[in-house]
Amino acid sequence: MSELSSTFDFKKPFLFGGVDYSVPVYILIGLLISIIVWFSIGFRYVFPEAISGQFDFQLIINNAETWLQIHAKVYTRAASNFVGYYLEQLEMFLWFKPWPVVTLALVLPALHYGGLRLALFTLFGVLFWGMMDMWDPAMSTLALMGVSVLFSCFFGIILGILCSQNDALEASVRPVLDTMQTMPSFVYLLPAIVFFGIGGPPAAMAIIIYAMPPVVRLTNLGIRQVPETTIEVAESFGSSRLQTLFKVQIPQALPSIMLGINQTIMMALGLAVLAVFIGAGGLGEEVYKALKRLKVGWSVEGGLCIVFMAIIFDRLSLAMSHPKESDMLKDNTEMKFRLLPQRLARNKIAIAFEKLIDIIWYSVAVLGYYFVEGLAILSERLVKIFNKNLALSIGILVRSFRFLLSSLFVIILVLIWDSWIMEIGYFPKDWQFTIRKPIDNAIDSLIVNPYFYGFTKGLKEFIFFYILNPLEIFLIGLPWLFVLGAFFVISFFSAGMIFAMIAVCLLFFTGLSGVWELTMQTLAAIVASVVVCVLIGLPLGILAAYNKTVDNIVRPILDTMQTMPAFVYLIPVLYFFGGNRVTAVIATVIYALPPMVRMTNLGLRELPKQINEVSDSFGSTEIQSLIKVKLPMASPSIMLGVNQAVIMALAMQVITPLIAGEGLGKEVFRAMETADTGRGLIAGIGIVLLAILLDRLTQAWTVNQRKALGL
Amino acid sequence: MNLKNKLTTSLFATLLAIGFAGSASAGGMLRAPVPDWTGGAVTCEVIHYVLENEMGYKVKRITMPSGPGVAEGERAGDIDFHCESWPSYSTTNDIYIKEWGGDGSIVKLGDAGPIGTSSYWIPSYLIEKNGGPIKNEPKLTDLNDHVDLFKGMDTGAKGRLLGCPTPAWECRDQDRLDMNGINFKAIELGSETAHWAEAQAAYKRKEPFVLYAWTPHWIFAVLDLVSVELPAFGSVEWPASGWDVDVTYNAGRPGMLTEHPEASQMIMNASITNVQQAGMIKAIDIDGRDIEEVVAEWMEANRDVWSSWVPD
């Protein structure tokens, strides 16, 4: 608050009433200059052909691909056969084992790590696959996920550990990871066919590459974040570097590594759906078939199966990364509820109900305890004949795996039942039902509903005439040298000289490869989508932060929006908005909105309580304190939301060409349709460059904001 | 705790081992993608039926988008054959198939039978017979009288034509419009799905639209469309004219001819007509029946059509 007293600070010329307005002011000045330039120097300044014509990147890539097809195929095929073997084994296992085995294999860990609520949700999700008649596709996706996540994590963790030990390696791996994560998969899915084949194996290879970055990043980060003092203590006890690494650093980094695995799983699932493009079956196939025949209800069924799978994986892996909650609350004044919401803790009926659950819970636990105890004693007795010491440690070992062993016992019981007593067979047909018809009917009636159509039409025209179209004309019309200069200035002030140079080089490359105009078109689509995201997401996030009910309603919707494959809502969006560039923007907004709402909500909720009291004591109204104090305080979090929205909007650019999106994404599709890898790669690189540029800029902004607020 | 790790691993190994009880052996298996449109799927299923029921093959049906991915798969040897390619819409036949000047890394396996035609179409509720404003048998030039009717948000003062969804098909819609002096703008939606979705929604709202479409196609079983007459192919310079008919063909990897000569010969002989195909499309898309069931039923009833395809 010391700045308030000084009348004018040359370093911060736009400081009014304690709030730093320099960023908006700079943006305004920048915009003003750009508009003047736009009006004075021409409308369509194409990147000069004289420069871009000299550089035939496309041809170089295609020649390289042909060479690789001849010389590298043997090795890539060997790798894919290796992965394919495990994939086939796991798929066969999941397909031919009775369905209760798979159900138990997912529900039991959920019960162990996440408690009764997660277990029940998992049970519902797994049964839902069967009830929708999508058990087999779900098993295929599960197998594909299982194998690729396993390999991804195996190599990812190794790479992460190596990176944590060597700064030079880390620095060189980082841009590779950025590229792996943002390069549109359609660029390499088709060439992957020649190198890795058709179906599951190439899909697994693509997923392994695409999903690896988070686990590498978080393993590296987790190990590096282990406090110096801890390491020093270990070293003072005389442990070697390797010992310190494996006994101290990695165990301490486990939560971070688990978070990385969690994100890897989520990314893998995202690509597992797209893998239908190279003939990998599974739930993605169901959604794709439905999409091709415009069966919205069918695709929603498939989409929901994927949503449930995603939520189960997400919650389960998160639960595994957190330490297990104790069964009882510490102070023992209230009963810890297993199923019902905790706020009913004073309700008599609820308590009685929970008591009943408790009794069942403990009787099952006791059964498991005696089973494992018996097993332990038995194995101790048996081994004792040979070796007394070994017997003791085996006893301890068996007891420490109580949950795993009793779960295995149950699963083996089911298997024995299936093989010798009574065949369980396929998921019971009587349990199946369908929600296709009601969904189709609802969509049909919305299509012809004049009010709804009036609304969508108005929204479409608003976005087109006031946001997207002006933006596109403006960005494409700006002289390319000016855009380079503008990006240099922005990058220089937000992220420093080195990044500014890199940014200019990246942009120059897009011009050089002849995709300047497409890049600007994509930029316009992204900016338009993010603007709409902020217009909707900010108020919604504020509302959710102030009102618990809104929060509770919004949360599951956001979860669904984020995990529902975009293919599912492409058709409804098209039905309501027609095919044009706005439709692409709207689909992008659906995908990119969740982080915006979440981070706004989180940023406001996490503010210290005293802020309210202070602003109240100054007599400001709620609106005043929101605008003047809370929103500026929460701005780092909100900016992080914008950052994520930008990245997700970019990822969506390769899906929107399916519904009339323009720009680099469409170029990727065009290249895919003519099997022109060079062309696709150039457009893909353009997208990667935009992603790196926009990501660093928004991140730098967040960091500066945090510094300014002294956080 | 080293022992603990070892035991964990062996536990998982045994768990997996319980499940691995032999896998299916593949003898005489052919891998073929299922076309992602109903007509093509019917043509293929007919061929698959003969292969499986008369020639002792097993066909592994792969779901993937029809297009260059299939070609790449055939070149790499992972796909044995595919059926009902449309010359106008296969974007890679001039690179890979000899008949179109390609390098021969994919071979043509005879004609598939169905003959495709492409044109522009309008919904039937727009023509005079049904109380609409447009002449009963509209020509391309008639569209100029109704520019206002077909105006769209993204076409300004011009009429809006839903052109070929994919640029790689090289329909050259805008050139056709310009060469015929039609004051319309061709819009490209990027995917076939988007194309039909927009048409279907507009049809349900009874809105005016002109779109590019081709027959045989399931959309004609759902929407009542009237074709707009284009200058006949060859009568004027391409692309001012309409399209040539598409003689659809089957194709496969070169190894098919040497490794499975009988199957290749059968695929070359196989051919069904548009009318035969249309009957099955209707049963699948309108009556909502299962494709394998419909095809099997038809095959049993029409043994004389296909019994001669199988080489002796």
What secondary structure does DSSP assign to B204-230, as a single string?
Answer: HTT---EEEEEES-THHHHS-EEEEBP
CB-CB neighbors (< 8 A) of A578 in chain B: 152-153, 198, 201-202
pLDDT for the residue A3:
42
Per-residue pLDDT for A513 more than 80? yes
- State the Rg of chain B over Cα: 24
- What's the rounded mean pLDDT across residues B54-78? 88
Of B16, B72, B193, the CB nearest to A190: B72
Residue A227 preceded by cis peptide, ω within 30: no
Residue whose tokens read 């105009």: A517
Per-residue pLDDT for A528 more than 60? yes
CB A493 within 8 A of CB A26: yes
Quickly count helices (H) and strands (E) in chain B: 12, 9
CATH of span A72-321: 1.10.3720.10
The reply to whether residue A404 touches residue B16, judged by beta carbons under 8 angstroms, is: no
pLDDT for the residue B298:
95
CA B223 from centre of chain:
18
Task: Note the pLDDT tens digit of each residue in B164-181.
Answer: 988 777 888 999 999 999
- What's the rounded mean pLDDT across residues A25-49? 72
CA distance B230 to B138: 9
Element (H, E) at B185: strand B184-187
Task: Note the pLDDT tens digit of each residue in B189-204.
Answer: 988 889 999 999 999 9
Q: Please, how many CA atoms are within 13 Å of residue B96, restricted to the half-sphere of its CB?
A: 25
CB-CB neighbors (< 8 A) of A657 in chain B: 190-191
DSSP codes joined into one string, A65-106: HHHHHHHTHHHHHHHHHHHHHHHHHHHHHHHHS-HHHHHHHH
More confident residue, A239 or B205: B205
B28 phi/psi in degrees, rounded to 5: 65, 40
Tokens of A649: 């909007």
Structural domains in chain B plus CATH codes: 29-114+247-309 (3.40.190.10), 117-228 (3.40.190.100)
% chain B with pLDDT above 90: 55
pLDDT for the residue B183:
95
The reply to whether residue A576 touches residue B71, judged by beta carbons under 8 angstroms, is: no
Burial track B148-167 (b if 16+ CB lie within 10 A, e otherwise): ebbbbbbbeebbbbbbbbbb
Average pLDDT, chain A: 84
% chain A with pLDDT above 90: 26
Task: Note the pLDDT tens digit of each residue in A153-174.
Answer: 999 999 999 999 998 998 889 8
Binned at pLDDT 50, 70 and 90, residue A4 comes out as very low
Binned at pLDDT 50, 70 and 90, residue A198 comes out as confident
CB-CB neighbors (< 8 A) of A669 in chain B: 190
CA distance A54 to A57: 9
CA distance A200 to B172: 37
Residue of A139, A198, A449, A461 to mutate for B, most B C-beta atoms under 10 A: A198
The reply to whether residue A658 touches residue B194, judged by beta carbons under 8 angstroms, is: yes
Tell me which chain B residue has its CA closest to the CA of residue A407: B15
Task: Note the pLDDT tens digit of each residue in B4-39.
Answer: 555 555 555 554 444 443 333 334 889 999 988 888
Task: Note the pLDDT tens digit of each residue in A646-658.
Answer: 988 998 998 899 8
Per-residue pLDDT for A104 more than 60? yes
Residue of A106, A246, A292 to mutate for B, most B C-beta atoms under 10 A: A292
The reply to whether residue B16 touches residue A93, judged by beta carbons under 8 angstroms, is: yes
More confident residue, B3 or A455: A455
CA distance A141 to B35: 22
Tell me which chain B residue has its CA closest to the CA of residue A671: B168
How many residue pairs from chains A and B have C-beta atoms closer than 8 A? 164
CB-CB neighbors (< 8 A) of A570 in chain B: 193-194
Q: Which amino acid is at B17?
A: A
CB-CB neighbors (< 8 A) of A92 in chain B: 19-20, 23
pLDDT for the residue B27:
40
A549/chain B closest Cα distance in angstroms: 35
Say how many C-beta atoms besides its own lie within 10 A of residue A520's C-beta: 23
Of B19, B64, B189, the CB nearest to A579: B189
- Cα of first residue to Cα of last residue in chain B, in angstroms, is 69
CB-CB neighbors (< 8 A) of A460 in chain B: 153
ipTM: 0.82
Per-residue pLDDT for A329 more than 50? no
Of B64, B91, B193, the CB nearest to A279: B64
Classify domain A41-67+449-709 by CATH architecture: Orthogonal Bundle (1.10)
B123 phi/psi in degrees, rounded to 5: -70, 145
- What's the rounded mean pLDDT across residues B67-84? 89
For the ranges A473-482, A566-575, B58-67, B281-290, the one whose mean pLDDT is highest: A566-575
Residue whose tokens read 């078939």: A289
Tokens of B128: 């005079």
Tell me which chain A residue has its CA closest to the CA of residue B5: A397
CB A578 within 8 A of CB A463: no
3-state secondary structure of B118: strand
pLDDT for the residue A14:
60
SS (H, E, C) A450-495: HHHHHHHHHHHHHHHHHHHHHHHHHHHHCCHHHHHHHHHHHHHHHH
CA distance B308 to B270: 9
DSSP 8-state assignment for residue A202? H
The reply to whether residue B69 touches residue A279, judged by beta carbons under 8 angstroms, is: yes
**Angle formed by the axes of helices A469-477 and A516-546, nearest 10°:** 140
| Least trusted range by pLDDT, from A41-45, A466-470, A693-697 | A41-45
Binned at pLDDT 50, 70 and 90, residue A19 comes out as low
- Total number of residues shown for chain A: 711
CB A498 within 8 A of CB A561: no
Strands (E), A659-708: none
